Structure 1
Amino acid sequence: MSEDRNKILEETIKRLLRRGAITNLQKIVNKTHAADLSVVFRNLSVNSQRKLFDMIVDYEQRAVLLSELSEYTFTDFIETIEVEELLDVFDHMPADDVADLIADLPPEKADAVLEKMKTEESEEVEDLLSYDDDTAGGIMVPDFVALSEENTAREAIESLQKDFPDVEMPFYLYVVDEHERLVGVVSLRQLVVVKPGTPLRDFMTTDIFSVKTDMDQEEVAKIVARYDILAVPVVDDNNRLMGIVTVDDVIDIFRQEATEDMLKMAGVGEEFVETQSVVSSTRIRLPWLFASCIGGILAFFIIGHFENTLKQVTYLAAFLPVIMGMGGNIGTQSSTIVVRGLATGRLVADDLRNVVCKELCIGMILGIIYGGLIALAAQIRFGAELNTAMLAVSVGLAVLSSMSIAALVGSLVPMVFGRINIDPAVATGPFVTTSIDIISVYCYFKIATQLLGL
């Protein structure tokens, strides 16, 4: 439904742009959520994007639109916006979103923006920019509610109303000592159910889930998801509260990491194809396809080694596609399950033995089932002509071997990569399928040669 609505919105906007129906366009643009407009922006020219942007009256909507644009779209569109106009939009954005957008600006424009921003805000943004983009410090929000443990519940509520009206995540109040070190956390529910005169230290939660500023964003996201919290505090090495990572950022992290894993598994890099030039895309895909090429050459030599076997029983060639295909499919399934499990935290590298044994058992069971099925088909088709059942047995055993080894390789390789701190996603796709193809071909011809006495 959402895709259909966005498609209708895009077609309507394009039609009104062609007609120059400014009044109707303004009504649609200002009634449409900026997140939906960001989807439409991807398929418009820069001039059309600028026209729509100028029609947005609410600066907060402009801010949401800029923060929702893809890096590729943002980079082109931002060239049309002057520094002063950009500053007006940034005034309506959280500091962490401002830092993300400034990081994507050309260096000259980024410096100009930082120079003209208000001193306090500029320092806040520069502090965020000092952290790596994919760490807790790089994605944290520096605006949070932090109160002394001596404050009472009444004072905390008054402080929320007076001093923190614009805080992005007011659902948690963080309690700090005189050195700004995190000592506890209070939820809004706790705050409103206790007696007004109760000090925060008497009912705050001291068992706190916190992360360090240099923790990888994927690990931060796993913590938020595992403990079902709306935000997680970010502390430095001295346990001083520096900021918080909110659940909306966690959703973006999971989407980003899942996309990167999928692209890595396919051997096409970490970015969407529209953000890559032809040269860049070619350079990224070249080594992975080279691995497939080398695998194909090795398979060619293996088949050549069993040339006499093929000459004597040419029917063996008919089963090569199904044997390699079944092995490749179950290998991809196993590697995908393991990579996804490692990415979401449901699996850890220490589970290696259990995971590999389980996938191997599954591969063997499926191999027996499909090996028997394909062997039966081989016997029905070629049994009478060859006057032997050994071809069917050879094909069945080859399928069993191929699927068992594929499940083993597909689960073992990413688990080993995860244990040695290499991204498991790079172990799938071309790498796994190519190695499985080579092993499957060798096992098939070796088994057939022995059983058929060739």
Structure 2
Amino acid sequence: MQADRIKILTESIKRLLRRNATSHLRKIVSKTHAADLSVVFPSLAISNRHKLFEMMDTQQKGILFSELDETSLLTFIEEIQLDEVVEVLEKMAADDVADFIGRLPEEKSAAILEKMRKEGSEEVEGLLRYGDDTAGGIMVPDFIALREDTTATEAIGSLQKEHMDVEMPFYLYVTDEYGKLVGVCSLRQLVVVPPDTPLKDFMSTDVFSVETYTDQEEVAKLVARYDILAVPVVDDTNELVGIVTVDDVIDIFREEATEDFLKLAGVSGEEFVETKSVFKSMRIRLPWLFASCLGGILAFFVIGGFEESLSKFTYLAAFLPVIMGMGGNIGTQSSTIVVRGLALGFLNIRDIWSVVFKELAVGFILGLFYGTLIGLVAQAQYNLVAVAISVGLALVCSMSVAALVGSMMPMLFARINIDPAVATGPFVTTAVDIISVFLYFQIATILMGI
């Protein structure tokens, strides 16, 4: 449904641009969210991009800058005046500006910061001091914080006069005289208590906070676990310096999930963005494909060790694809489940044996089912009980070992502080292929008396 709507929007905008129907186009732009316009934007010619951009208001332009992919953004920024870029950035939230500037070349970002108003550029430069993937790098420096002796009436007055433009007004953070975070209260609490009640009398002192260097993935897990709309960020002295809001958390989950799945496939997030560079894509994939190539060479030597068996019973080779394929599939399933469980915090390294035994049991039961099925096919085709049993047992062993390896490896990598998303995919695939081939020919050699 969403894809169809975007397709219709794209075709409508292109048609109106061709006809130079400016008035109709302005109406569509004014009623369309900039996030949708950012999907249309890269498909337009350079001249049409300028026309569409000029029809947007400042808020839409800011959202467009945040939503455009890096390649489209860098291309477009080179085509417009620096003053026009600065005008848009000065209306954007500081964390979004910091993210935007972090995606630009150093010379361009320095020029933009120099042109921005001093107060705005200082805020952005403060955020740029922190790593892109830390709480400090994604936090919003604008928040509502009042002293603990402030009354409910004074707090409401402050919200109406001084904090009208704050991004997340649902939480009011409470600090002591030194600016250290001591509590939090919601807007609901603020309006139901007697007007002269100080914040310290009804605030919650059980505050979930993170430090500026906390990894963004940990921040996202905290927000998801406790169902909060924002999490406060403090420095080493527990002084409140910013907040991370739920909209940024959604972006984090999307980025981390994309990154994990790309790593499982043996590619990188860089390639996801840099689609135009053939040599860069080749360089990124080369080491992961080398691991698979090395596994294939080892499998070649394993098969070569059973050359005598194959020369006598050539039909054994017919079942190699299904045994290796089924083992590889269940190994990938197990590893994917465990990697995502670790990433989302649903699994803990301490759970290693319960997870491994569960996946091993699943692999064994599925192996029995499919081993019986393929064994019956082998019996019907060749009418040889030994072949049917060899194929069936090999499939049981292959799928059981694959589930074992697929579930154990991510847990072991996580225990020794190696990113399981990076290392698991190539290792599991290669190991399962080699083990499956060896077990198959070993079982066939024993049962068929070769």
Structures share a fold, TM > 0.5? yes
Measure, in 2, the Cα distance between the counterparts of 1:221 and 1:84: 35
Distance 1:70 1:348 in 2: 34
Question: How far off its partner does 1:365 sit?
Answer: 0.9
Q: In the TM superposition, what is the alpha-carbon distance from 1:274 to its structure 2 partner?
A: 4.5
2:396 maps to which of 394, 400, 415? 400
Q: Is the 8 A contact 2:90 2:120 kept in 1?
A: no
Instruction: State the SS of the aligned residue for 2:231.
Output: strand
Alignment of 1:235-384 (within 5 A): 235-271=234-270, 273-276=272-275, 277-383=277-383
Match of 2:447 in 1: 451
Q: Distance in 2 between matches of 1:284 and 1:331?
A: 24
| Structure 1 counterpart of 2:437 | 441
Partner of 2:98: 99
Partners of 1:333 and 1:448 in 2: CA distance = 27
Give 3-state SS (helix, strand or coil) of 1:271's partner.
helix
Q: Which amino acid aligns with 2:393?
A: L
Check whether the contact 1:153–1:198 (CA below 8 A) recurs between aligned residues.
yes
Q: In structure 2, how many angstroms separate the alpha carbons of the residues matched to 1:63 and 1:237?
A: 32
Q: Corresponding residue for 1:192?
A: 191
Deviation at 1:26, TM superposition (A): 2.0
Instruction: Indicate the residue corresponding to 2:63 in structure 1.
Output: 64
- 37-46 vs 442-451, which deviates more? 37-46
Q: Tell whether the 8 Å contact from 1:260 to 1:271 is kept in structure 2 after alignment.
A: no
Q: Which amino acid aligns with 1:411?
A: S
SS of the equivalent of 1:170 reads coil
**Which of 409, 418, 426 is 2:405 aligned to?**
409
C-alpha distance in structure 1 between counterparts of 2:314 and 2:138, whole Å? 61
Shift of residue 449, structure 1, vs aligned partner: 0.4
Task: Work out whether residues 271 and 280 of structure 2, in 8 Å CA contact, stay in contact via their aligned partners in 1.
Answer: no
The residue number in structure 2 matching 1:37 is: 37
Question: For residue 160 of structure 2, what is the aligned residue in structure 1?
Answer: 161
Q: Residue 346 of structure 2 aligns to a residue in which SS? A: coil
Q: Can you list the C-alpha shifts for 1:302-324, whole angstroms capped at 9, x where unaligned?
A: 11110100111111111001000
Amino acid at match of 1:92: K
| Segment drifting more, 355-364 vs 13-22 | 13-22
SS in 2 for 1:39: helix
The one-letter amino acid paired with 1:380 is A
CA distance in 2, matches of 1:402, 1:137: 47
User: Bigger shift: 163-172 or 61-70?
Assistant: 61-70
Equivalence for 1:233: 232
**Which residue number corresponds to residue 179 of structure 2?**
180
Per-residue Cα deviation, 1:143-188 (whole angstroms, up to 9, x for no partner):
0000000001111000000110000000000000111100000111
1:245 is paired with a residue whose SS is strand
Identity, % of aligned pairs? 67
| Alpha-carbon distance in structure 2 between the residues aligned to 1:449 and 1:51 | 73
Aligned partners of 1:430 and 1:161: how far apart in 2? Answer: 57
- Which has the higher mean CA deviation after the structures are superposed, 419-428 or 440-449? 419-428
Shift of 1:243: 0.3
Rounded Cα–Cα distance in structure 1 between residues aligned with 2:61 and 2:273: 24
CA distance in 1, matches of 2:118, 2:436: 65
- Within 2, Cα distance between the matches of 1:153 and 1:264? 50
Moved more, 63-72 or 404-413: 63-72
Q: Report which stretch shifted further, 297-306 or 164-173.
A: 297-306
Instruction: Give yes or no for contact 1:175–1:183 (8 Å, CA) kept in 2.
Output: yes
**Aligned equivalents of 1:272 and 1:46: distance in 2?**
24
Which stretch has the larger CA shift, 394-403 or 107-116? 107-116
> In the alignment, residue 70 of structure 1 is paired with which amino acid?
D
- 331-340 vs 15-24, which deviates more? 15-24
Alignment-mate amino acid for residue 324 of structure 1: M
Q: Which amino acid aligns with 2:446?
A: Q
Give distance in 1, aligned partners of 2:412 and 2:329.
20
Deviations 1:199-235 (A, max 9, x none): 0000000011000100100010000000000000000
Q: Is 2:218 the counterpart of 1:219?
A: yes
Q: How does 1:83-162 map to 2 (within 5 A)?
A: 83-162=82-161
RMSD: 1.2
* Cα distance between partner residues in 2 of 1:233 and 1:274: 31
Describe the SS at the equivalent of 2:43. Answer: coil
Q: CA deviation at 1:125?
A: 0.6
Q: 2:144, 2:166 within 8 Å by CA — same for their partners in 1?
A: yes
SS across alignment from 1:196: coil
Structure 1 residues 237-273: Cα deviation after superposition (integer angstroms, max 9, x where no partner): 1100010000000000000000001111111112353
Give the aligned residue type for 2:83: E
User: What's the offset of the Cα at 1:429?
Assistant: 2.9
Amino acid at match of 1:80: E
- Structure 2 residues without counterparts, runs of 5 or longer: none
Closer, same or farther in 2 for the Cα pair 1:223/1:279, shift >3 Å? same
CA contact (8 A) 1:288 1:431 kept: no
SS at match of 1:42: helix
Deviations 1:307-360 (A, max 9, x none): 100111111111001000100000010011001111111112221111111111
- Contact 2:135/2:216 (8 A) holds in 1: yes
2:232 and 2:447 mapped to 1: Cα distance? 65
Give the Cα–Cα distance (whole angstroms) in 1 for the partners of residues 107 and 437 of structure 2: 57
AA aligned opposite 2:405: V
| Aligned-residue offset at 1:119 | 1.5
Shift of 1:377: 1.2
The separation in 1 between residues aligned to 2:170 and 2:75, in whole angstroms, is: 37
Question: What's the offset of the Cα at 1:118?
Answer: 1.6
Q: Which amino acid in structure 2 is aligned with residue 402 of structure 1?
A: S
- 2:243 match: secondary structure: strand
Q: Give the letter for the 2:137 counterpart.
A: G
Cα distance in 2 between the residues matched to 1:110 and 1:335: 41
